[in-house]
Amino acid sequence: MNFSPHRLWHSRGYLPHFDCPGMVQAITFRLADSLPQKVLADWRAELGRTTPESDAELRRRTARWEDAGHGECLLGRPVHAEVVENALLHFDGCRYRLLEWCIMPNHVHVILAQLEAVKLDHIVKSWKSFTARKINGMEGRCGALWERDYHDRYIRDGRHMEDARHYVRNNPVKAGLCKEAGDWRFGSAWAGRLEAQIQ
């Protein structure tokens, strides 16, 4: 693991990222086949110049598209969702603090607090590379499992945190996958996990 300085605002040529120790971040990463690049390019062309309003509309469209279940939805298979769950939980408390998370059939939401030594892109890269090797191996195939980049938003204040937590917990409900957030097996809101922690 590389412990070089955090990069603050930066881009790898795709999406802007903010990397700073101690930040609370809402992160989304998705399977490579979940949102075709042509669809994304068409939306960007339609929305025109980048503004806060066009960015917000692009996020809304992307979320609706993801929740509609496009692509192969490999994470809808419990055996693959469990690989991702184990990867998220493995370094909780060591490289980051997981505050909320949810594994959807074709994408993953995470809210975490960054710890001092580890950069955000290294955290996400470790999740994606480990899970890609495991899931591709289970499927007997190779190639890109995850989309190249990820989306992150730093949490600005308490209200933003409350809204982000609500969104992550209730994403399976909104997508019509379950009736209550606690029913969804692969998320931090799963009632079975909460019951096990209490006992």
Residue range(s) defining the domain that contains residue 19: 8-34+69-198
In a domain? residue 57: no
In a domain? residue 151: yes
In a domain? residue 62: no
40-86 residue pLDDT tens: 999 999 999 988 899 889 989 999 999 999 999 999 999 999 999 99
In a domain? residue 128: yes
Do the beta carbons of residue 155 and residue 111 sit within 8 Å?
A: yes
In a domain? residue 41: no
Closest CA to 161 of 114, 115, 119, 111: 111
Please state whether the predicted TM-score (pTM) of the whole model is above 0.85. yes
For the chain, what's the residue count?
A: 199
153-187 residue pLDDT tens: 889 899 999 999 999 999 999 999 999 999 999 99
Residue 83 to residues 33, 38, 80, 128: CA-CA distances in angstroms? 19, 29, 5, 11
| pLDDT band at residue 192 under the 50/70/90 scheme | confident
Do the beta carbons of residue 108 and residue 65 sit within 8 Å?
A: no
In a domain? residue 106: yes
In a domain? residue 94: yes
Q: Sign of the CA dihedral 77, 82, 83, 88? A: positive
Tell me the C-alpha distance between 86 and 54, whole Å. Answer: 35
Do the beta carbons of residue 155 and residue 164 sit within 8 Å?
A: yes
CATH number at residue 139: 3.30.70.1290
Burial of residue 130 (CB within 10 Å: 0-12, 13-18, 19+) is middle
* The total number of structural domains that make up the chain: 1
93-119 residue pLDDT tens: 999 999 999 999 999 999 999 887 788
Query: DSSP of 104-144, one letter per residue?
Result: -SSEEEEEEEEPSS--HHHHHHHHHHHHHHHHHHHHT--S-
